[in-house]
Structure 1
Amino acid sequence: MKFRILLLFAVAFLLLTTTRLRVHAQSGKSAARPNIIFIFSDDHAYQAIGAYGNKFAKTPNIDRIAKEGALLNNNLVTNSICGPSRATLLTGKYSHTNGYKRNDRTRFDTNQTLFPETLRQSGYQTAWIGKMHLNSLPKGFDYWNILPGQGNYYNPDFISQPNDTTRYKGYVSDIITKFSTDWLDKRDNSKPFFLIVGHKATHREWLPDLQDLGAYDNVNFPLPSTFYDDYKGREAAKQQDMTIEKTMRLKQDLKVDADYDKDWTYNRFDPEQKKVFKAYYDKISKEPAEKKLTGKALTEWKYQRYLKDYLSTANSLDRNIGKLLDYLDKSGLAKNTVVIYASDQGFYMGEHGWFDKRFIYEESLKTPFVIRYPGVIKPGSKVDDLVLNIDWAPTVLNIAGVKIPSDIQGKSFFPLLNGTKATAKVPWRKEAYYHYYEFPEPHHVFPHFGIRTDRYKLAYFYNGADSWELYDLKTDPTEIANIYGSKGSEAITADLKVKLKQLMNQYQDKEALQILAGAKK
């Protein structure tokens, strides 16, 4: 009798265990709650990454994450600018909802729902290390050690708990990685962890690590096809102030005859660092005069120097991502740790003659996003669906098995990653909504809102530009032909305007609805 009872208990336990394993397999979760690391860079363009097709950039470690996991081809931001993008990461909300619309002196409201705090309340140990750039100290983290404001590339200050500022010798990417691995060494091993690693690179003014100086000096980068864009039919693009030709500064941005004693960009070097850095750029500084560069020749020289400095700065970013991946391998954490790499928005690498971001155009609208989850995400996966940065927070919560707060505006795209979308027929968005605000400083990009589908993009620029733009991304992927008002575009324009208004209502963007009501036809 006892044997039969024991046998029944054993069978029941086996069935229960099998059911649980099946549920975990179907949901894409392992029995142990995964650790999650979110590596977040600044201004790193997707088109400056090998996995996204760049043949010159040396990004083997970002490429490795993509190869061992998934790459998002259409990861879009909702407001292409640094601080607001970080606020969106933390809240899963649009800028008009989380209250952080511009890069200004606004203090980010940390009293609203922040997904790291939700993770913390569910049993995760949380940390933010590196750049935050939100005019507020972190909240919802067990540990934090952040750069003040934009931070410095060399010998940077860090603010740590409770509010102590300390200067550290070295290059910022290396220091951020060391702080990250030190925290991982000392964390509470009884809890899963969530760590944001916020890198300063590749933010302007692009100061490479000493070991990366000249890394691309033997490369002659081809000019983008739109480098000499005349902005015909695009009033807002015509009036911007972000060109390599006119806006990019020789002294501050490209280090030509840089003032190493007075300019804050360079005043953090110690004597040894300064000697090496200055010796390299002193040689570069001679080139414009020696080659008698003027006009287009000077503009194209500036473009070459920009890319060389930018990609050299990115070398250290990628190398330090590699150090973190190696740490996970050696510590045995890799098998149950989700690794995400993303940037706060896209960036122009000379397209349209520009650097910087802000516009709804593809290069600044799209941002890189690669994710690795061993045993769950199939290596080499590609996702073409329209994913927004409001979706990052709910996706991380979903992966962690944590209930998503009702005030988050995004939705989890985990079903797009783990294969359950096809079996469960999960609906996904067909349109993406965008709204940019900062004007007129620093780059005179008119505020605008718009909608992006898999093929079309419709945008309205206001506060002076007062104009519509429509692009067929299939026939015009570089967005130089504004077809708004042209014959044959009437039906798609009307349809997109209806959908644009629907999205404004869905996300409760009341300001945009008022502007739309009075917009030019």
Structure 2
Amino acid sequence: MIIALALAYTCTALAQQAKKPNIIFLLTDDHRWDALGAMGNKVIRTPHLDALAKRGILFRNAHVTTAICMVSRASLLSGQYMSRHGINDFNTDFKPAALADTYPALLRKAGYKIGFIGKFGIGVKNQPDTLFDYWAAKKEGQPPYELVDQSGHVIHHTDSVGKDITQFLERFAGKEAPFCLSVSFKAPHELDGNPPQYPVQERFKSLYENVKIPDPLTAAPQYWDSLPAFFRTEQNIGRDRWKPLLSTPELRQQTTRDYYRLITGVDEVVGNMVAQLKDLKIDQNTLIIFMGDNGFSLGEHGLEGKWFGFEESIRVPLIISGGALPKSLQGRSSNQLALNIDIAPTILSVAGVAAPRAVQGYNLLAVEQKKLPARKDFFYEHTYLGSPRLPKVEGVVTPDLKYMIYTEHGYEELYDNAKDPHETVNLAKRSSEKLRLEKLRRRYGELKKEVK
């Protein structure tokens, strides 16, 4: 009797483990919220991502808590604000105890096979390749776009990522253990240099060639001219990079086309991956999450890049899809205030793994199922480098309002994003906004303490 019970318990446990979903997290680099067909962009071609959005949850109000790659990636892995995880430069990596509490490490401990492909983006020398069952990432801060494969042929980084995805799925799909694959594209990040460039795959170079891309409203000179003197300098990295890429209408057209072309290249890889999941007959037990690590200004406010608190910088695309998503959540659009710190707890919850107490995000699916209340605001912080190159900025973002303060200078911004989505008018100096401004100042002080 005891043996029979033990066997029954073992079989039940194995069956439950077999039912655990596979999880794929896809991350693009510098991908702004509106560079996606599903988000209303009439120019860009992203049919495969649009299809994922249609079959899953499209989060229309997703943001990052810090708009720079290494900080955001640390937040994605840990579920923590920068103020807690402490990674705020390109050389700092996770200490062993902190790494053990990231979602890949916790899933491996729970029996998942884990893989990482692409740009890790946190630290350089001590990237945790030995943690993963499959690792396809060079230990470097910013990989080049043109790679040389084992046969000596040049391959674009996006295509290389696609090949590695194929190889991972061939090796780990359909096995007894579930898998979690984290994929990080370099695209559509610029290739750093003087001037920066956007190397595009040959087959996409003519895409969008005859399409006129509308100029951003705030690309007009008066919006740059309205910014404070400490910000409005040629030493500002955002302005410095704007010059060779976005300073004329012709440059804006070319840069934006190349930016879109790189995203379409990513979309192609996603389509191939989804087709392979179906061929392997694991698509119905796989959850797919797609997100950008931060946004990107393509000339808005006279800037190129991210870093600052403008909507183009901090708002990103986010999709949760796949056959493993509960049927009741498929095919919906969500306006909840979703964050990068929510990815780790969402993944852990789907896998049936408890999130560590230090995690500050929450399970996005539980909010959609009304098991948790949606957040009403969040804290934004970008303190890397400082003035004059990147003035430090912190603030509070709500669904309708945005308060930012440049902490080195005491300069405040208040935008009513519901009425002024392009952030054309700073309301901070208006006497009529005194009550709203004071309320957000108090909330800023509260959140600054809470996020540590």
| Structure 2 counterpart SS, 1:470 | strand
Does 1:44 pair with 2:38? no
Distance 1:367 1:234 in 2: 26
Query: What displacement does 1:233 show?
Result: 5.5
Q: Is the 8 A contact 1:124 1:191 kept in 2?
A: yes
State TM-score, norm by structure 2.
Answer: 0.87
Where has structure 1 moved over 6 Å in runs of 4 or more? Answer: none
Does 1:241 pair with 2:191? no
Distance 2:172 2:336 in 1: 36
> Which entry has the higher C-alpha Rg, 1 or 2?
1
In the TM superposition, what are the counterparts of 1:154-165 in structure 2 within 5 Å? 154-156=146-148
In the TM superposition, what are the counterparts of 1:21-170 in structure 2 within 5 Å? 32-102=19-89, 104-112=90-98, 113-134=101-122, 135=124, 136-138=126-128, 140-147=131-138, 148-156=140-148, 169-170=154-155
| Structure 2 counterpart SS, 1:497 | helix
| Structure 1 counterpart SS, 2:258 | helix
Letter in 1 for 2:277: L
Q: Which runs of 5+ in 2 are unaligned?
A: 1-7, 191-196
| Structure 1 counterpart SS, 2:218 | coil
Cα-Cα RMSD: 2.6
Query: What displacement does 1:236 show?
Result: 5.7
Q: Specify the alignment match of 1:24 in structure 2.
A: none
- Number of residue pairs matched? 423
Query: What displacement does 1:309 show?
Result: 1.3
Distance 1:110 1:137 in 2: 11
Q: Specify the alignment match of 1:472 in structure 2.
A: 416
Would the alpha carbon gap of residues 57 and 236 (structure 1) be closer, same or farther in structure 2, given more than 3 Å must change?
Answer: farther
Distance 2:96 2:335 in 1: 33
In the TM superposition, what are the counterparts of 1:344-359 in structure 2 within 5 Å? 344-359=293-308
Letter in 2 for 1:34: P
State TM-score, norm by structure 1.
Answer: 0.76
Q: Specify the alignment match of 2:4 in structure 1.
A: none
Q: Specify the alignment match of 2:201 in structure 1.
A: 209
After superposing the two structures, state which structure 1 stretch, 107-116 or 194-203, moved more. Answer: 107-116
CA offsets 1:251-299 (integer angstroms, 9 cap, x no match): xx69xxxxxxxxxxxxxxxxxxxxxxxxxxxxxxxxxxxxxxxxxxx71
Q: Is the 8 A contact 2:62 2:317 kept in 1?
A: yes
Q: Specify the alignment match of 1:448 in structure 2.
A: 393
Distance 1:339 1:307 in 2: 27
| Structure 2 counterpart SS, 1:238 | coil
Q: Is the 8 A contact 1:235 1:467 kept in 2?
A: no
Q: Is the 8 A contact 1:226 1:353 kept in 2?
A: yes
Distance 1:127 1:101 in 2: 25
Q: Specify the alignment match of 1:4 in structure 2.
A: none
Letter in 2 for 1:308: R
Q: Which runs of 5+ in 1 are unaligned?
A: 1-12, 18-28, 159-165, 255-297, 509-521
Q: Specify the alignment match of 1:484 in structure 2.
A: 428
**Identity percentage of aligned residues:** 31
Q: Is the 8 A contact 2:238 2:306 kept in 1?
A: no
| Structure 2 counterpart SS, 1:433 | strand
In the TM superposition, what are the counterparts of 1:41-440 in structure 2 within 5 Å? 41-102=28-89, 104-112=90-98, 113-134=101-122, 135=124, 136-138=126-128, 140-147=131-138, 148-156=140-148, 169-187=154-172, 189-204=175-190, 205-228=197-220, 229-232=223-226, 234-235=228-229, 237-239=231-233, 241-242=236-237, 247-248=241-242, 250=244, 299-374=248-323, 376-377=326-327, 378-417=329-368, 420-421=369-370, 424=371, 426-440=372-386
Query: What displacement does 1:241 show?
Result: 3.0
